[in-house]
């Protein structure tokens, strides 16, 4: 993007990816294990995800494809059941895996009155407790589609918030809030986060995968660890 002279009275944003950035693991792995232990997920589904993850981890399938596969679990289920247990799930499963060093960054940005934005392919009901607990101002994420019967279809309601969609959603919010992107920050771990990282003047990478690590080294982007 073209760079312009920063305007100091404009708000500054801090955009955080979630999985393997603010969280030190992939949240679907935690979720599938949780569901499996409670016999709430089929062996066929788990096998499908393990198989897909093999290719995803080698960059043979995209973030968006992986997200669509994960969402098939919700087909024919009621969203209200999951929303009811979201707070307990956050405190029991998610909160212990928040990365201390990146959590400190969240606190630092909040103290500087920066606008905190969580940007994730994850699902809204799972991320709302994170946003509420950590004091994020905005949540950009994936919503679940409901069918005419009120049950979930196993598909997203609108675009999955990943890859270029992360940048599109974040850019739209930045425009609405008249943010100074040159002075703003972004944090991500995966090469699919590059469009969002390029959007700001202060990109940071967190325990990056090989592709993002190479880009970060070439562009002198700061590289952070979880601890």
Domains of the chain listed by start with CATH number: 13-224 (3.40.50.1000)
Q: What average pLDDT does range 138-155 have in this prediction?
A: 97
- Number of C-beta neighbours around residue 187 at 10 A: 27
As given in the structure block, the two tokens for residue 29 are: 């792995």
Q: Give 61 or 200, the one with higher predicted confidence.
A: 200
Across the chain, which distance is largest between two alpha carbons, in Å?
56
Asked if residue 72 lies in contact with residue 45, where contact means CB atoms within 8 angstroms, the answer is yes
Instruction: Please tell me the pTM assigned to this model.
Output: 0.91
Q: Give 137 or 54, the one with higher predicted confidence.
A: 137
């Amino acid at each position: 993007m073209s760079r312009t002279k920063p305007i100091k009275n404009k708000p500054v944003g801090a955009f955080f990816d979630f999985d393997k950035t603010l969280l030190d693991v992939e949240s679907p792995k935690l979720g599938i294990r949780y569901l499996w232990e409670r016999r709430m997920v089929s062996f066929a589904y788990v096998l499908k995800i393990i198989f897909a993850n093999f290719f995803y981890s080698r960059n043979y399938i995209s973030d968006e494809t992986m997200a669509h596969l994960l969402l098939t679990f919700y087909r024919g289920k009621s969203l209200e059941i999951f929303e009811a247990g979201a707070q307990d799930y956050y405190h029991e499963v998610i909160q212990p895996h928040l990365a201390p060093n990146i959590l400190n960054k969240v606190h630092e940005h909040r103290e500087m009155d920066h606008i905190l934005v969580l940007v994730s392919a994850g699902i809204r009901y799972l991320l709302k407790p994170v946003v509420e607990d950590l004091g994020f101002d905005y949540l950009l994420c994936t919503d679940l589609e409901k069918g005419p019967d009120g049950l979930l279809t196993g598909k997203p309601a609108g675009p999955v918030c990943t890859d270029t969609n992360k940048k599109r959603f974040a850019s739209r919010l930045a425009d609405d809030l008249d943010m100074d992107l040159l002075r703003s920050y972004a944090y991500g771990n995966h090469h699919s986060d590059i469009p969002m990282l390029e959007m700001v003047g202060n990109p940071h990478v967190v325990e990056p995968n090989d592709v993002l690590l190479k880009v970060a080294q070439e562009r002198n982007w700061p590289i952070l660890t979880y601890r």
